[in-house]
Structure 1
Amino acid sequence: MSSLPLARTGAAIIGFAALALILQVNWHSHAADDKDPPKAKVDPNVRQPWTTSKVTGSPEPPPKYKPVRVFPEVKFNHPLLIVRCPGSERLFIGEQEGVLYSVQNKPDAKKELFFDFKKELKTIDKTPGAGGVGELYGLVFHPEFAKNRYCYVCYTLNAKIPPKDGRFPDGSRVSRFKVTDTDPPRLDAASEEIVITFVGGGHNGGDMHFGHDGFLYISTGDASGPNPPDTATTGQDCSDLLSSVLRIDVNKKDEGKSYAVPKDNPFVGMKDVRPEIWAFGFRNPWRMSIDRKTGELWLGDVGWELWEMVHRVEKGGNYGWSIVEGRQPVRPDQKIGPTPIRPPLIELPHTIAASITGGYVYRGKKFPELVGAYIFGDWETRRIWAARVEGDRVKEMPEIVKPSVRPSAFGEDNAGEIYFCDYDNGSIYTFERNDGGAANSKFPTKLSDTGLFADVKKLEPAAGVIPFYTSARQWQDGATADYLLALPGLSAVSFFEKPRAIPGQVFWHEFKMQFPKDAVLVKTLALDVATDRGPSETRVETQLLHFDGEDWRGYSYAWRDDQTDADLVPADGAEKTFPIAAGGKIEKGAWVPVGKREQVWTFHSRTQCLSCHNAWSEYSLAFNTAQLNRVPLFTGTDKTNQLVKLMKHGYARRVGPDDKELPPFDADSIKKQPALVPLIGDDPLDQRARSYLHANCAHCHRFGGGGGQVVIELEAAKPLKETGIFDVRPKQGDFGLVDARIVAPGDPYRSVLFYRMAKFGRGRMPHLGSEFPHAQGLDVVGQWIASLSNPPKEWGAGLPNVNRPDLAHGSFSGAWPFARAFALGKIDSKSTNNLPSEVVKHGAVPVRDLFEGYTPADPKGRKLGANARPAPILALTGEAKNGEALFFNKEMKCANCHKVGDRGTALGPDLSAIGKTRTRPELLDSMLNPSARVEPQFAAYNVKTKDDKTYTGIIVKRDEKQLVLRDAENKEVTIEGDNVDSVRPSRASLMPEGQMSGLSPQEAADLLEFLVNRK
């Protein structure tokens, strides 16, 4: 593979000082590509095995527990429930397709048929339009089962004629059955009595449990598909039974019903609200449970686009769907249901969870240390956690096993020990201690110890480790990048092919890649650091993405100043400051860098690595079909397609839909596969812009990827009209742009996507891996947006007139050429009377954030800015006395909303004893991200009146006559009831964002210390 040389891959990702020259240079002649890498001393036609790897295991200790199969002789087909039976040691397991089995709780158990709904049920004809049993969802036994032999089953019905909206009236059914007194027991089909029905379709819920009060609790979903959200707008509509937890009395019957409504249900007697509802506002509740000690009801709710949620359900609770999903607004224009929205107890971002499976509070005897912890998991990422809760706060939530089992349901036996089933392999598991596991004490702490390089100082790869090249490069604040692929021995990456056709596009394929155990992807980043002799290419960081056979983990190595080696970065990340060339002058017809600025380089935490490298993006962002499908553009003569060459030499293989190996790609078949293109070159403008957005944005901005409150899909293969950006109004803020759109066809300056790429600070995109705008990328994206109008418009940023009047009150369109010139190093603040500082201090909202990064360094020390990292603050020792002075400082305004002792105002939470209930990290997080979690009693609402006025504040009182708000100035606003047009939950706290941005890290540590000491 010597024909794939180790060359620079940062062709479009270059230092600011060089940007001005590169803009005029063709992609093929980049200076970064004009040198040949070290020649491999092996036969280029024979693949070399990689045998020197030391990257195995993990530097962190393994989980304390491991999953162990309990019934080794038993397997099920897509099991979805595990249920215990009072007075019996049997466990009952239900399969998705409608078959129930029982097993005796012993190692050599055999599965014994309990009931086959599709074969044995005889009552389908009682429901008009029904076409057979659909799926099984729930099973529960009556508390007095030993006496009455009753159990309750929830299952769905198929429609004979599928409804257009996918929703089948009475398609979800809860029925009571009698169980035979035989060994093994059987369900009596003839004994069915239908108890309650509700609309079926999509999210059905269907889990059931008896509470300590003897009443039956039933979960229901919104009966919709995954997208668009809540198509029937039922989440807050309590006139039906959907999106709710129902509570009914199955021991009594009201007139005309097969059950009774308990008189203490929260909405009994309320107009247009079904009295069966106990709580509401759920999307797709997947598994709930009753804490056998406290009687509390726990529920896992599968999220939509950003969050997975766990609720501890309370009487009358409104859990937000579909106005919100967790903390994010989804459809805020809806009318709120009969009670205020409550936040989830636990929120998991889609970086670590994608399909929650609710679990149980552990009350067994096997693991005393787990007693009282809520154990639950995620179907997609296979993670399982044990959450410890105190009051309304999660104190800790460690992963307790390695992510190897796909948990579709949890259950417990009569002793309180927890079981869970694997949807994929059909096995049932429980927990055992992982006593034999330990951290890999020999995990390499130096890059030279990884076995990836023959010579680290020269960046020469070890035998069997090969370079690869991406077509569309990520912008990482001027850094260049080298990529390596390291596969143990002679193993290969499998590309599992699932073909699809996209209207209006060439025929594309989707692939799901499978890497061998201990595969490593390597990326080395370098910056042009300013020295006395001019810019010098300096290695900054080498990132490893390691597949341990079950999960992906990211590690960073920070290069030493002498460039001889790199050291493993701590798990929570780090920072380092580099001097970068800034500004310049024309000298002998050439642009010469002059001056320098400080650039803070962030080594991201291992958790942050997985924000982008996650299940939704298939983990690898650079090594995939679209990026690899290219001819390397380097000085060698071999122009063979890279992906063809990788397959030819055995580094990759194709697998078809039937799991049979397919012939490797050749010169013709590769043309049908997805391919990104470089930012600069002769390819069409649309392809260059879409490829750039794909490389920098699509790993988050895809359905489920966590990139926004609405579905924005920026994959290059997606037709533009289906991306969710074309002429669509923004829902996460317009930044003051007039008539803003996410992408306004023909007008970059009305396009929030363009502005987010151009700005600094909070709201900038991408929010990880980059803090500086990429002028070259913005030029291409701006030209592309301008071309989208009919007819296409001409657009060019150009260079500004330095003598232009002050921009403090200017527009985005007038200010951007100046900001672009700063990005290119074409002008510095001296030539514009310190323009960046003046604009940041006094500028209009759409303008000031374009310049923040170009302001001179603060002589008193670096400020936190809008994207502060907690780790450096937590590492400092704070001075509480200084923090107290800051808290009561008039400019900080902390005391305007909070009380400490007898000082301040109690608009927000009283902080007099906040150190008693919050840890230092928790307190700091609430200071840096005030809107991340807002206690229900302090949630802000946006109120619009019928005479077109708007107010924001905390609701003090609301009835038919009036609504009373308390605003951020602690003033009460009274609005007549008949003048209220809409009331929407605010996605922001009343505490302003960026409140800490003007503090230095030490000042933040002082303020934190003051609050931590409030006991």
Structure 2
Amino acid sequence: MSLVSIFRSFWPVDARTIARAPVLLATSLGLPILLLVLVPGGGSALAEGKSPPVFLPLVVNNLAWPTLGLGPGVTGFQTPVLLIHAGDGSNRLYVVEQGGRIQLVEDGQIRPAPLLDITDRVTCCGERGLLGLAFPPGAGPKDHFYVNYTATEEGQLVTRVSRFAMDSDSQVADPKSEQVILTFPQPYSNHNGGHLAFGPDGYLYIATGDGGSGGDPQNHAQNLGSLLGKLLRVHVEEGSVLTYTTPITNPFVGQANARPEIWAYGLRNPWRFSFDRETGDLYLGDVGQNAWEEIDYQPANSPGGENYGWPILEGTHCYRADPCDPTGTVLPIWEYSQENGDRSVIGGFVYRGQAIPGMQGVYLFGDWVSGRIWGLRRAGDAWAHSLLLETGRNVASFGEDAQGELWIVDYAGGVYPLVTSQ
């Protein structure tokens, strides 16, 4: 058994006086874990009796991991950024193109007519564009869907979350049917977030970036009065409501100077997140600044309100050296350095398909720049991890089909299923 990696140093060496006491624990699988217990000293905020940040230890071990590859895919897309299914019992796949189209894949072919074309109102590209798509929960045919895109209103870049009507038979949406659910300004052209998905609770979750530039100069991510740098949770599936309502169980409902839509905060650019279709747990990839990429986690029974640390922390490391008080933050379950050619984390899915039995329960995620794909697997109270595949592609997103099989979206124009190469 080789312990290769542990949670990295919490603060820069010169930032705080911390004694690190290694403690060996055992997981339910009998695997030893080297856990860093942070013992504060000097002027640390933790010395004042405040609770330390919450995190789970990491361990690398010799659990068996399957060998992955890419199967034959579908090509011919223009800058695809997302792949999803509608949950309607069909085998259709929907591929979002950044410029403003949603393409439909049937029987391995791109249908000539797109589901939706709103290129006339989408502001693209860079980190802008048509970025998210979600169909309402429940089985059966769908007559509407939701999108997240950037637009320009009176010279101001904005994010729009909108609802469109569609014909379930023809699989065509009317661009004129748009109902804008939510709009908010974007101060810069980057860090727009863009993902949205329905959770197991039936509410719509919307990921927003911190507003852009670099280092969150306007401190949006920690400001509960701003929708930027957040994960939002709203109710949009009430037939009489054209916009949205806020669930009364959201953590900041009734709190002065806080937006009630906020479910979690302290995020930089949460490009992709997903819910485990079996457990309901939430996994989120938050793109880092100049040094660290991270995977954040929220158990299904969470009441919300998590502060994932940005820009106080980048990963588990202080980003703002003064002040750097991580009290109350929730640290990532996994982080990796940008030193080895990796640059932008792409959150994925927990595998719940049937084609790769050895992958059951593994959370797969990747990196946009390097094209690498890793796996995280829960090992008692720890997380085992492994590099699973070097794709050599720009992995813009992961997708899950109706059977729970996973795909990657290559920004160069294709979508490819993950398969076992054993």
Normalised-by-shorter TM-score class: 0.7 to 0.9
Cα distance in structure 1, aligned partners of 2:205 and 2:374: 25
- Write the letter of the residue equivalent to 1:387: L
Q: 1:271 aligns with which of 247, 252, 256?
A: 256
Deviation at 1:332, TM superposition (A): 4.7
- Deviation per residue, 1:383-404 (Å, 9 max, x gap): 0011112355212x22222232
1:147 Cα deviation (Å)?
A: 5.8
What is residue 149 of structure 2 aligned with on the other side?
A: 155
The structure that has the greater radius of gyration is: 1
> Partners of 1:157 and 1:334 in 2: how far apart?
36
On the 8 A contact 1:79/1:93 being kept in 2, the answer is: yes
Aligned to 1:320: 309
- For residue 291 of structure 1, what is the aligned residue in structure 2? 276
Q: Which residue of structure 2 lines up, in the alignment, with residue 725 of structure 1?
A: none
**Partner Cα separation in structure 2 for residue 180 and residue 187 of structure 1:** 6
In structure 1, what is the Cα distance between the partners aligned to 2:312 and 2:165? Answer: 41
Q: 1:298 to 1:131 in 2, by over 3 A?
A: closer
Partner of 2:210: 222
Aligned to 2:137: 143
CA-based RMSD of the aligned residues comes to 2.7
Distance 1:197 1:325 in 2: 28
Q: Residue in 1 aligned with 2:60?
A: none
In structure 2, what is the equivalent of residue 439 of structure 1? Answer: none
Any conservation in 2 of the 1:261–1:276 contact (CA below 8 Å)? yes
Is the contact between residue 92 and residue 104 of structure 2 (CA under 8 Å) also seen in structure 1? yes
Q: Which amino acid aligns with 2:224?
A: C
- Give the 3-state SS of the residue equivalent to 2:236 in structure 1: coil
1:346 aligned to 2:349?
A: no
CA shift digits 1:526-571 (9 cap, x unpaired) = xxxxxxxxxxxxxxxxxxxxxxxxxxxxxxxxxxxxxxxxxxxxxx
Are 2:229 and 1:243 aligned?
Answer: yes
Measure how far apart 1:208 and its partner are. Answer: 0.9
Which residue of 311, 324, 331 corresponds with 2:296? 311
Aligned partner of 1:66: which letter?
G
State the shift of 1:131 in Å: 11
What amino acid sits opposite 2:176 in the alignment? A
Q: Identify if the C-alpha distance between structure 1 residues 384 and 189 changes in structure 2 by more than 3 Å, giving closer, same or farther.
A: same
* Deviation of 1:306 (Å): 1.1
Query: By how many angstroms is 1:268 displaced?
Result: 1.1
> In structure 1, what residue type is equivalent to 2:402?
N
**1:347–1:230 Cα change, 3 Å:** same
User: Contact between 2:80 and 2:396, CA under 8 Å: does it hold in 1?
Assistant: yes
The residue type paired with residue 221 of structure 1 is G
1:70 deviates by 2.3
- In structure 2, the partner of 1:205 is 193
Q: Give 3-state SS (helix, strand or coil) of 2:278's partner.
A: coil
What are the residue-to-residue correspondences of 1:444-843 with 2, within 5 Å?
none
Partner of 2:31: none
Distance 2:92 2:137 in 1: 15
Alignment equivalent of 1:390, drawn from 379, 385, 388: 379
Structure 1 counterpart of 2:418: 431
Secondary structure in structure 1 of the residue aligned to 2:418:
strand
Q: Which has the higher strand share?
A: 2
Mapped partners of 2:177, 2:406: distance in 1: 31
Q: Please, which of 381, 397, 400 is the counterpart of residue 409 of structure 1? A: 397
Alignment deviations for residues 410-450 of structure 1 (CA, whole Å, 9 cap, x no partner): 011111000111112x1111122223xxxxxxxxxxxxxxx
Code of the residue aligned with 1:68 in structure 2: it is G
CA 1:319–1:391: 2 relative to 1, 3 Å = farther
Q: Deviations over 1:285-305 (max 9, x none)?
A: 111111100111111000001
**Are the equivalent residues in 2 in contact too, given 1:84–1:91 (CA < 8 A)?**
yes
Cα distance in structure 1, aligned partners of 2:309 and 2:252: 17
Partner of 1:399: 387
Equivalent position of 2:98 in the other structure: 96
Q: Which residue identity does 1:237 align to in structure 2?
A: N
Contact 1:145-1:151 within 8 A present in 2 as well: no
- CA shift in 2, pair 1:96/1:224, >3 Å: same
Aligned partner of residue 288 in structure 1, secondary structure: strand
The question of 1:67 aligning with 2:67 is answered no
Q: Specify the SS of the correspondent of 2:358.
A: helix
User: Quick one: which amino acid aligns to residue 404 of structure 1?
Assistant: G
- The structural deviation recorded for 1:348 is 0.8
Amino acid paired to 2:152: N
2:408–2:418 Cα contact (<8 Å) kept: no
Task: Please say if 1:330 is aligned against 2:319.
Answer: yes
Read off the aligned partner of 1:280 and give its amino acid letter: Y
The structure 1 residue matched to 2:178, chosen from 172, 192, 201, is: 192
**In 2: Cα distance, 1:147 partner to 1:431 partner:** 27
Residue deviations 1:636-658, cap 9 Å, x none?
xxxxxxxxxxxxxxxxxxxxxxx
TM-score computed with the length of structure 1 as normaliser: 0.33
CA contact (8 A) 2:287 2:293 kept: yes
1:7-38 superposed Cα distances (whole Å, 9 cap, x missing partner): xxxxxxxxxxxxxxxxxxxxxxxxxxxxxxxx
Match of 1:138, SS state, is strand
How far apart, in 1, do the equivalents of 2:332 and 2:261 lie?
22
In the alignment, which of 399, 402, 409 is matched to residue 421 of structure 1? Answer: 409
Q: Which secondary structure does the structure 2 equivalent of 1:69 belong to?
A: coil
Partner of 1:344: helix, strand, or coil? coil
Out of 145, 167, 175, the residue aligned to residue 180 of structure 1 is 167
Contact between 2:99 and 2:124, CA under 8 Å: does it hold in 1?
A: no
Are residues 373 and 173 of structure 1, via their aligned partners in 2, closer, same or farther at CA, if it must alter by over 3 Å?
A: same
Aligned equivalents of 1:137, 1:109: Cα separation in 2: 19
SS in 2 for 1:190: helix
Deviation of the 1:371 alpha carbon:
0.5
Q: Is the 8 A contact 2:377 2:383 kept in 1?
A: yes
The answer (yes or no) to whether the contact 1:63–1:402 under 8 Å persists in 2 is no
Paired residue type of 2:389: V
Q: Match for residue 15 of structure 1?
A: none
Residues 345 and 392 of structure 1 are in contact (CA less than 8 Å); yes or no, is this contact kept in structure 2? no
Partner of 1:79: 80
Q: Give, in whole Å, the separation in 2 of the partners of 1:131 and 1:356.
A: 21
Q: Look up the SS of the partner of 1:232 in the other structure.
A: coil
Distance 1:239 1:109, change over 3 A: closer
Query: Deviation of residue 109 (structure 1)?
Result: 5.2
Kindly indicate whether residue 366 of structure 2 is the aligned counterpart of residue 364 of structure 1. no
Distance 1:387 1:159, change over 3 A: same
Give the C-alpha shift of residue 63 in structure 1.
7.6
In 2, are the aligned partners of 1:195 and 1:259 still within 8 Å (CA)? yes
8 Å Cα contact 2:103/2:111 also seen in 1: no
Deviations 1:443-494 (A, max 9, x none): xxxxxxxxxxxxxxxxxxxxxxxxxxxxxxxxxxxxxxxxxxxxxxxxxxxx
Give the Å deviation of 1:341.
0.6
Q: How many percent identity over aligned positions? A: 36
Q: CA deviation at 1:335?
A: 9.3
Give, in angstroms, the shift of residue 108 of structure 1: 4.9
Report matched runs for 1:914-929 at 5 Å.
none
Letter matched to residue 400 of structure 2: E
Q: Does 2:266 align with 1:281? A: yes
Deviation at 1:329, TM superposition (A): 1.3
Q: 1:357 to 1:131 in 2, by over 3 A?
A: closer
Instruction: Tell whether the 8 Å contact from 1:63 to 1:401 is kept in structure 2 after alignment.
Output: no
Name whichever structure is richer in helix by fraction. Answer: 1
Measured after TM superposition, the shift of residue 354 of structure 1 is: 1.0
Residue identity in the other structure for 1:218: I
* Matches of 1:198 and 1:346, distance apart in 2: 31
Give the TM-score taking structure 2 as reference length. 0.77
Task: Output the CA distance in 1 between the equivalents of 2:210 and 2:178.
Answer: 26
Paired with 1:290 and 1:63, the residues of 2 have a C-alpha distance of 22
* Cα distance in 1, alignment partners of residues 101 and 270 from structure 2: 22
